[in-house]
Chains A and B, each alone.
Chain A
Amino acid sequence: TQLLEQSPQFLSIQEGENLTVYCNSSSVFSSLQWYRQEPGEGPVLLVTVVTGGEVKKLKRLTFQFGDARKDSSLHITAAQPGDTGLYLCAGGNYGQNFVFGPGTRLSVLP
């Protein structure tokens, strides 16, 4: 059974700080996705990474896929209150359903 772990589980920081959250597995994935979910809403897809070592940037968010395609990180620079939410990672393989991690709940205080 493929499992994804995310750390930290909860994170509360002040506006303007930097942070990194992690997604780890013992399994190899052909692709990995990051989502942000706000309370009472569905997850919104932020990025998909498919190549080991790949780095993608989305404004203040930087996503990295591990060389072995077993882990990923999300770094946020100068966090803002609008970044508050549940960050989910999901790993996928050809012909298989996605496996979701439990999420990191981020709170950015003004």
Chain B
Amino acid sequence: ETGVTQTPRHLVMGMTNKKSLKCEQHLGHNAMYWYKQSAKKPLELMFVYNFKEQTENNSVPSRFSPECPNSSHLFLHLHTLQPEDSALYLCASSQDPGTSGYEQYFGPGTRLTVT
């Protein structure tokens, strides 16, 4: 298996549910990211982990809770979401952001619908 994988690809959940999104990278990268992509909006960076340490929390509501147990795995735990949280959630990985010309590689995304 290569690149960045995400599961599930599609998720429908009610506002009172708890679910988790999973991301795994097979590129030997040290940094992992969560982005939110809504219709007609640019990609929004949510969280960044570098060497398993969270380095960015872009004012994300606490109903989104990230977890990075190691450099290859990243989770996004969801609870009591709102309908406006419906979006495509993208995971990405990269080399250390402190290196010159570092590149981000994205997974296929999880299409989340909150009912």
The size of the chain A interface, using a CB distance under 8 A, is 24
Interface size class of B (residues with CB under 8 A): 20 to 34
Q: Are B42 and A103 within 8 A (Cβ)?
A: yes
Chain A minimum-CB-distance residue to B96: A95
User: Quick check: which of B13-21, B63-71, B75-83, B98-106 contacts chain A, the rest being far away?
Assistant: B98-106
Q: Mark A26-57, 1 if CB is under 8 A from B, else 0.
A: 00001101010000111111001010000000
Pick the contact of A97: B42, B97, B103 (CB < 8 A).
Answer: B97
Pick the contact of B101: A30, A44, A90, A103 (CB < 8 A).
Answer: A30
Query: Closest CB of chain B to A2's CB: distance in Å?
Result: 12
Query: Closest CB of chain B to A51's CB: distance in Å?
Result: 10
Q: Indicate if A92 sits at the interface (CB-CB under 8 A).
A: yes
Q: Are B104 and A90 within 8 A (Cβ)?
A: yes
A50/B100 contact (C-beta < 8 A), A97-B45, A100-B42 known: yes
Pick the contact of B43: A44, A45, A88 (CB < 8 A).
Answer: A88
Residues of B within 8 A of A30 (CB): 100-101
Residues of B within 8 A of A44 (CB): 106
Q: Are A48 and B42 within 8 A (Cβ)?
A: no
A31/B43 contact (C-beta < 8 A), A41-B109, A42-B108 known: no
Pick the contact of A94: B98, B105, B111 (CB < 8 A).
Answer: B98
Q: Are A45 and B101 within 8 A (Cβ)?
A: no
Q: Indicate if A1 sits at the interface (CB-CB under 8 A).
A: no
A95/B109 contact (C-beta < 8 A), A43-B90, A45-B103, A102-B42 known: no
Q: Indicate if B32 sits at the interface (CB-CB under 8 A).
A: no
Residues of B within 8 A of A40 (CB): 88, 109, 111
Query: Closest CB of chain A to B49's CB: distance in Å?
Result: 12
Residues of B within 8 A of A45 (CB): 103-106
Q: Indicate if B53 sits at the interface (CB-CB under 8 A).
A: no
**CA–CA, A10 to B42, complex, Å?**
14
Q: Are B106 and A33 within 8 A (Cβ)?
A: no
9 residue pairs bridging A and B, Cβ less than 8 Å apart: A42-B4, A42-B90, A42-B92, A42-B107, A43-B43, A43-B106, A94-B99, A102-B42, A103-B42
